[in-house]
Structure 1
Amino acid sequence: MADATGDKVSEKGVPWPSRKLAWTALAILATANILSYLDRIIINLLVEPIKSDLVITDTQFSLLQGVAFGLFYATLALPIGRMVDMRSRKPIIIIGVLVFSVSSLFSGLARSFQQMFLCRVGVGAGEASILPASYSMITDYFAPQYLGRAISIFTMTSFVGIGLAYIAGGAAIEAIAAWNAPWPLAQLEPWRRVFIVVSLPGILIVPLLLCLREPERRGVVTSKPISIKNAFGHVKTQGKVLYPIFAGFSLITMAGYAATVWTPAVFIRVYDWSAGDVGYYYGIVFLIFAPLGALIGGTLSDRLTAKGYKDAPLRVAAFGYIGAGLFGGIAPLMPNGTAALACFAPAILLTTLPYPLAGTAIQLITPNNLRGQVTALYMLVINMVGLGLGPLIVAVFSDLVFVEADGIRYSLAIVSAACAPLAFFCLLKAMPHFRKIRASETA
């Protein structure tokens, strides 16, 4: 049927896709997401050889992960989000996977800071398609009562990707360093070969993505372009709830990316661990506790929703994250690497717990024909703040304030401890307005 504007409105009686189809699609999207994080994270284990070969500072390295990756990852999400709302979402994801894989390959060939900067721009640009397109498709695959768990599982795979990147990356660094590589790889430093190797799985997954089935859109399905002005207008109209949501999750993202980028450097510089040791031990801890945090967050949100809590995603995110500041603040200050790792474990769990709940909350209060663009605006904000400032603030403190060899530990501790209470109060402010919107929609 159609509404007064001529836009198609999905019938309420149209059945949802079968559970088997929905979970299969989720598995394919999750695999693409895992590989995107593999390309994104591997650089953090290579900080020392990259700095040495390209002759760059901590601040310049943070720009590779912050401005180069984060800025373009965020800004390109806006036009991509617009395409997600208007066009088939499968080819958007396929093109994105190819772009970030090829850009990762060329990262291994960069000979200057400027060339590496451009390669990381390409990685960010390609990965910008994954989140808005996947969120939109998942929301059309799963009924609302299953959406929190589905999105939490999808988000959980982000952390699986990070954990595997640390473990596989650490092992690959040591194996490739000892590898008697054939020509022309023999002419490249080991860290360059690592980038080339990790780029290959993304290219190989494209045939699997081609098997993905596009789900029927739910709710209002527009037959004409929805302008970015309308998306901004929607965010402004819902500003009482969306502004504090964006602010709260920006702070969570800031602390999360600061830790993701600089924790390996803490273990290497402060505790004298090798890159292989960091990849193996920290990677295992991350692989266990990060997905567990995301899964717990989505499960608790679904359970509270079933009990009638209209603000369940924000409630779980706010109260679940508050402890991350304590453990994240003390972990880098521990006297040895084992104690630090023990403190990082609960910090990781509590940091990742809120991540799927942002996507769940935004999808639940956003019309179908604006989900891609509103999600893209959300990505723009949290990544400009989180990726743009989180790693950079830590690096600036390290270069200018805590200039000793182990100064990175104090910089990371400050950022981790400060973000948690600020994020808590932002999400607390959004909760009553979120409840009001959800109550009006289900009345």
Structure 2
Amino acid sequence: MSDEAGFSRRYAWYVVILLTAAYAVALLDRIVISLLIEPIKQQFGLSDSGVALLSGAAFGLCYSIMALPFGWLADRANRRWIVTFGIASWSIATALCGVARSFTGLFAARVAVGIGEASLNPSASSIIADLFSGPARAKAYGVFVAGTSFGTGAAFLLGGAAIDAADAVRAHGGALLADFATWQIVFLLTSLPGLLVAALFVATVREPKRRERDTTTASPPLLPFLRANKGAVASVIIGLCCNLTSVYALIAWYPVVLIRVHGWSQSDAGYALGVIGPPAALVGAIGSGWLIARVNAAGRKDAALLVAIVASVIYGAMLVLSGLVADANLSLVFYFLGSLCSNSFSAAAFSALAQLAPNELRGRLTGLYTLMIGLVSLNLGPVSVGLFSDYVFGEQRLNLSFAATVALDSLLASVILLAGRGPYRRSVGAT
């Protein structure tokens, strides 16, 4: 069975699954550093806010800066090649993290990871919008966002396994790996899956025909669209970026809370989070896409925002509790409950932006969203916790720094998204 895009429904879902795998690899390469913060901090003599630059600013600045150029390309060029280039380049950059011998070298390699990963969201969002229409599009975005669950799980599980296997890998590597630290070997091992996904993507995916595109006029400029829909666009991008700020604080620092505050080993923390968090986030990612589609079909044009608001309240409450309780096992229970909502934010963002923007602007609007994620979420999430730790609560009460960051971000996100419902309904009602 084929649809109006010219592809079978089975093939369309195959492409979504492959894009989901790419998203998973991106998260793997992006966040495995959270398990390695303590040894990196010790090797280079860094403070909490200093090491947060590696997980936040080093990656986030170039990730954000390159989002708009890649969004511009996604609206004009072959998205299949953009995605392939991006996956291969960030995988190679992750390997370069593993051969870094200085803070400067590691910082530069993390910058390169950010540049490569900036290519994925604008092109993937645009491809999915051209493969699906109507309610199926929100469902497809939900599956795509599930890649963050797989990537987070892989980062924690494979990271923990790589830490345990580092000695054996070092022994088999002989003189080549003899003086490599464990954290360096982990980076080398986690760089490999992306190269396989890149090869599969270029070999099996075809560039889809662009849907709903006005071919009679030149591609419209972005700024007039933003001015005409400023309330809707601002509420979606800023509100959901606040949510993702708390998510990146969780990714960067919750493993360290288990290690530093609760006394767990790096590998034990990795295994526990890899088993507990991703299944919950996977259910939330797919479930939120289906829920948005269902609420939208019931006539609620602001379905994506409504789902994001409810998810924000639940996520904030659960993760604050996970940071405040003294028992590690109870903390993990609240972590699990909060993770049920963690992927709802990205699913809501992709669905809302695709609903707002015409085909000719989807890549650039998603690029603008990615820019804000990089400038705000990826930087402020990890760095806020580090600053609270260094200047307010102290290193040994990292759990309080984490809880404070999540509480502030979730509250701000809920207020912004509530205020944006009216402008959003007016904008989508006019299209």
Shift of 1:236: 2.4
Superimposed CA distance per residue, residues 153-196 of structure 1 (whole angstroms, 9 cap, x where no aligned partner): 00011121111211111111111135423230222111111111
Shift of 1:225: 7.4
Superimposed CA distance per residue, residues 9-62 of structure 1 (whole angstroms, 9 cap, x where no aligned partner): xxxx94553211101111111111111111111111011111111222211211
State the distance in 2 between where 1:431 and 1:418 align: 21
Superimposed CA distance per residue, residues 306-359 of structure 1 (whole angstroms, 9 cap, x where no aligned partner): 111111111111122212211111211211211110111111112322220111
Candidates 68, 83, 88, aligned match of 2:58: 68
Match of 2:193 in 1: 201
State the distance in 2 between where 1:144 and 1:27 align: 19
Number of positions where the alignment pairs a residue of Structure 1 with one of Structure 2: 426
Q: What secondary structure is seen at the aligned counterpart in 2 of 1:181?
A: helix
Q: What secondary structure is seen at the aligned counterpart in 1 of 2:340?
A: helix
Q: What secondary structure is seen at the aligned counterpart in 1 of 2:209?
A: coil
Shift of 1:93: 0.7
Which aligned pairs between 1:70-85 and structure 2 lie closer than 5 A?
Answer: 70-85=60-75
Candidates 134, 150, 154, aligned match of 1:164: 154
Provide closer, same or farther for how the CA distance between residues 232 and 66 of structure 1 changes in structure 2, counting only shifts above 3 A. Answer: farther
Provide closer, same or farther for how the CA distance between residues 368 and 339 of structure 1 changes in structure 2, counting only shifts above 3 A. Answer: same
Candidates 101, 123, 129, aligned match of 1:139: 129
State the distance in 2 between where 1:249 and 1:269 align: 30
Shift of 1:121: 0.4
Match of 1:388 in 2: 379
State the distance in 2 between where 1:42 and 1:161 align: 9
Shift of 1:207: 2.2
State the distance in 1 between where 2:218 and 2:60 align: 27
State the distance in 1 between where 2:207 and 2:365 align: 20
| AA in 2 matched with 1:213 | R
Answer whether contact 1:153 1:294 (CA < 8 A) is retained: yes
Shift of 1:221: 5.2
| AA in 1 matched with 2:198 | V
Question: Please, which moves more after superposition, 341-350 or 266-275?
Answer: 341-350
| AA in 1 matched with 2:190 | V
Shift of 1:226: 4.7
Match of 1:8 in 2: none
Answer whether contact 1:73 1:124 (CA < 8 A) is retained: yes
Which aligned pairs between 1:252-291 and structure 2 lie closer than 5 A?
Answer: 252-291=243-282
Shift of 1:433: 2.1
Superimposed CA distance per residue, residues 249-305 of structure 1 (whole angstroms, 9 cap, x where no aligned partner): 111011010111000110000011011111111111111111111122111111111
Answer whether contact 1:270 1:409 (CA < 8 A) is retained: yes
Candidates 423, 426, 429, aligned match of 2:416: 426
Q: What secondary structure is seen at the aligned counterpart in 1 of 2:100?
A: coil
Q: What secondary structure is seen at the aligned counterpart in 2 of 1:277?
A: helix
Question: Please, which moves more after superposition, 263-272 or 394-403?
Answer: 394-403
Q: What secondary structure is seen at the aligned counterpart in 2 of 1:437?
A: helix
1:213 aligns with 2:203: no
State the distance in 1 between where 2:205 and 2:214 align: 20
Spell out structure 1 runs of 4+ moving beyond 6 A: none
1:113 aligns with 2:106: no
Match of 1:30 in 2: 20
Shift of 1:427: 1.0
Answer whether contact 2:5 2:209 (CA < 8 A) is retained: no
Provide closer, same or farther for how the CA distance between residues 15 and 397 of structure 1 changes in structure 2, counting only shifts above 3 A. Answer: closer
Match of 1:152 in 2: 142
Which aligned pairs between 1:6-405 and structure 2 lie closer than 5 A?
Answer: 14=4, 17-179=7-169, 180-183=171-174, 184-210=176-202, 211-220=204-213, 226=219, 230-403=221-394, 405=395
TM-score, normalised to structure 2's length? 0.95
Question: Please, which moves more after superposition, 78-87 or 29-38?
Answer: 29-38
Answer whether contact 1:255 1:415 (CA < 8 A) is retained: yes
Answer whether contact 1:73 1:125 (CA < 8 A) is retained: yes
State the distance in 1 between where 2:224 and 2:341 align: 33
State the distance in 1 between where 2:124 and 2:51 align: 30
State the distance in 2 between where 1:15 and 1:335 align: 54
RMSD across aligned positions (CA): 1.7
Shift of 1:426: 1.0
| AA in 2 matched with 1:424 | S
Q: What secondary structure is seen at the aligned counterpart in 2 of 1:322?
A: helix
State the distance in 1 between where 2:105 and 2:5 align: 50
- State percent identity of aligned pairs: 35
Q: In structure 2, list runs of 5 or more residues that go unmatched.
A: none
State the distance in 2 between where 1:365 and 1:17 align: 25
Question: Please, which moves more after superposition, 347-356 or 137-146?
Answer: 347-356
State the distance in 2 between where 1:82 and 1:217 align: 15
| AA in 1 matched with 2:227 | K
